[in-house]
Structure 1
Amino acid sequence: MTTHFLTVPGLASSGPQHWQTIWENQYPHLFSRVQQENWDWPVKDDWVGQLQKQISELSVPTVLVGHSLGCITIAHWAQEHFSEYIKGALLVAPADAEQSKRLNFVVGFKPIPVRALPFKSIVVASTNDIYASILRSKVFAANWGSDFVNIGKKGHINAVSGLEDWQEGKIILEELGSLELVQNEATKS
């Protein structure tokens, strides 16, 4: 059975130049997005509740693809809920809701969960992310039982980072699902 992917964006969602949106547009039959009612004033209970609502509607193996505060939402979801359909999570640039002064307005996201996730996961972090230090990202990975990938100086690993289709991210994602995005791209050329 084909693995599907549920993207879980962070603050302000992911715009048209963000790799999450690009992947969704490239593979609309495989990717869908969690839809939050308020992307600009995140409230943990609302965000986790919406994630749970969409996960409860799943009927196929699914990998969560989180970015920024979406990663923290996934960690909170995993503390409160479970689904046999969730097979893994790609957690890209988890935002440090505890220590980042830029996130002092988000509600309920701290403390950040420290229990291991009940599925395979990979944390991907950058050495110059303004929302979380590389050391904090390593702590998140260790706490969650996640593999850890340091991709160097890529900022917040978002549209501003200029990653566009982010091929490196697709290769990392392939470790979590029965997917061949990069190979499929090569055969299209």
Structure 2
Amino acid sequence: MISSDVLILPGWQNSGPDHWQSLWEARHGYTRVEQSDWMTPKRGDWMIRLEETLLARADAGLPPAVLAAHSLGCILTAAWASHSRNTHLVKAALLVAPGDADQPGLAEQLPTWQPVPMQTLPFPATLLNSTDDPYCTRARAEAMAKAWGARFVDYGQRGHINGESGLGDWEEGHELLKSLVDSAKPS
């Protein structure tokens, strides 16, 4: 896997220094899609930023990207894919601990993120969910995976699969990412 092909899509409030996304970025040279506002995210703004990033990569002659999304980054992936005409610019997506923006409590804090898109993704995807994730129930994560056409992985009790989950640079997750890329159709 070429490091320039992986785009890191953090969730709401970004990913801190102990988060596996930040550690992967530092260790493997992956590129974080930087958003203009991490604290009060607007879905449209985040979708535009992802679109611009993918188009810039294509203009530079880079192959389709692999998305490594966490939490609201998973919802961003689905929202972007449901509207973009450039979904061919993504090879595959690892969707980790989707944050259910329709869930009471989150819906009020993330008012531009409803409804969560439930259309099939036009690229291979794997969705990992923790059974004790406070931001998305297992049933809802399974429903998202089914709607998105993603492979569902029950990751046990790992909280929100973030920096507080004690995963470090999460080599097991990185192996899942590599496996997903290897199984995707050649670009």
| TM-score (norm. length: structure 2) | 0.90
| 1:178 positional shift | 4.4
Contact 1:2 1:61 in 2 (8 A): no
Q: Which runs of 5+ in 2 are unaligned?
A: none
Q: Deviations over 1:110-137 (max 9, x none)?
A: 1111110000000000000000001110
Q: Find the partner of 2:82 among 79, 83, 87.
A: 79
| 1:62 positional shift | 1.3
Q: Which runs of 5+ in 1 are unaligned?
A: 180-189
Indicate yes or no: 2:177 matched with 1:173.
Answer: yes
| 1:2 positional shift | 3.7
Code of the aligned partner of 1:13: N
Contact 2:107 2:113 in 1 (8 A): no
Name the SS for the 2:134 alignment partner: coil
Code of the aligned partner of 1:43: K
Q: What residue is the counterpart of 2:141 in the other structure?
A: 137
4+ runs of 1 displaced by more than 6 Å?
none
Aligned CA RMSD, in angstroms, stands at 1.6
Q: Deviations over 1:118-169 (max 9, x none)?
A: 0000000000000000111000000000000011000000001111111110
Aligned partners of 2:149, 2:182: CA distance in 1, in Å? 21
Q: What residue is the counterpart of 2:51 in the other structure?
A: 52
Q: Which has the higher helix share?
A: 2
Aligned residue pairs, count: 177
Indicate yes or no: 2:119 matched with 1:115.
Answer: yes
Percent identity among equivalent residues?
Answer: 40
Q: 1:123 to 1:106 in 2, by over 3 A?
A: same
Indicate yes or no: 2:62 matched with 1:63.
Answer: no
| TM-score (norm. length: structure 1) | 0.89
Indicate yes or no: 2:167 matched with 1:163.
Answer: yes
